[in-house]
Structure 1
């Protein structure tokens, strides 16, 4: 996605190296990262976050749409409050995961659902017909966000990451409601 997505309150855009401090407030926070392990470990400091962002930026250039990672920026103040991603779920063959991560002080404002819904709508213009989200059953915030995005619960599995996970799915027709 080379252009930005704009919603009422948010801009979904590509990550930049100067986002390192803001990204660290997300990916360097135990409250966030505990739900991402084993897919991602906690980032230790701003320098390490810059290295991670550099890898994401470089990888983005070689990923076919709709895959990638993006920053969630508040339109009101330009502050990065979270991240969104679309990537292949393990075993990395076909299931695309829509994921979201917000810094803790941005929880409860609906940013993940608003940004996730916009990203899903764009993704469905890229010749895909469904996206999945996975969450640990105890991650009630992620489960609630998946539902607010318009995703439907399809069951539990241990197929991804060798963890027992709730699986949600969204299709283009789900965005029409």
Structure 2
């Protein structure tokens, strides 16, 4: 779903093919890829990242609204610092998962929380009744973001991605 969403410090926007080099610094970083879905492997070159972005861009119109994948750009210098997605959780029927990934050199600056809150607020305006985030039990950073967002812990499961995950949920207030 097409989106351009500003926050105080960030702009959440559609991915572009010329984002490949900057995106590769996110999705090619071992310390980021380690926490993504089990089938994800670090994207080790710009051409491969461009192919991934192309696939994401092409798939966008076919996603169940309001699902999408977006770039996170820092307003002050127009640097691409991360990515977000809102997508259906397996078995891909009704539960929407919010994911975020940031360049390791910008971790700890609140960008994941700021961007995620904006997308959650937007998603609720689109009619979603709840948003989930899942994290591996030892992914302290992701769990901290979910908690800062005010997401409630709803338990632990192995039904998503064939691995044990902490599940967090937020509903509109």
TM-score range, shorter chain: over 0.9
CA shift, 1:127, in A, is 1.6
CA shift, 1:39, in A, is 4.6
Cα shift readout 1:121-146 (whole Å, capped 9, x = no counterpart): 00111121001000001000000001
Q: CA–CA distance in 2 between the matches of 1:110 and 1:50? A: 27
1:26–1:102 Cα contact (<8 Å) kept? yes
1:72–1:82 Cα contact (<8 Å) kept? yes
Q: CA–CA distance in 1 between the matches of 2:19 and 2:160? A: 29
Which residue number corresponds to residue 13 of structure 1? 13
Which residue number corresponds to residue 120 of structure 2? 120
Cα shift readout 1:84-139 (whole Å, capped 9, x = no counterpart): 00011112121110000001001000000000000000011112100100000100
Runs of 4+ off more than 2 Å: none
Which residue number corresponds to residue 140 of structure 1? 140
Q: CA–CA distance in 2 between the matches of 1:44 and 1:77? A: 25
Where does structure 1 lack aligned partners over 5 or more consecutive residues? none
Which residue number corresponds to residue 53 of structure 1? 53
CA shift, 1:65, in A, is 2.1
Q: Secondary structure at the match of 2:125?
A: coil
Which residue number corresponds to residue 158 of structure 1? 158
Q: CA–CA distance in 1 between the matches of 2:39 and 2:147? A: 22
2:152–2:170 Cα contact (<8 Å) kept? yes
CA shift, 1:41, in A, is 2.0
1:65–1:123 Cα contact (<8 Å) kept? no
TM-score between both structures, scaled by the size of structure 2: 0.97
Matches within 5 A, 1:25-174: 25-173=25-173
Q: Secondary structure at the match of 2:132?
A: strand
Cα shift readout 1:142-175 (whole Å, capped 9, x = no counterpart): 00001112211111000101111000001111xx
Q: Secondary structure at the match of 1:61?
A: helix
Shift in CA distance, 39/70, structure 1 to aligned 2, threshold 3 Å? farther
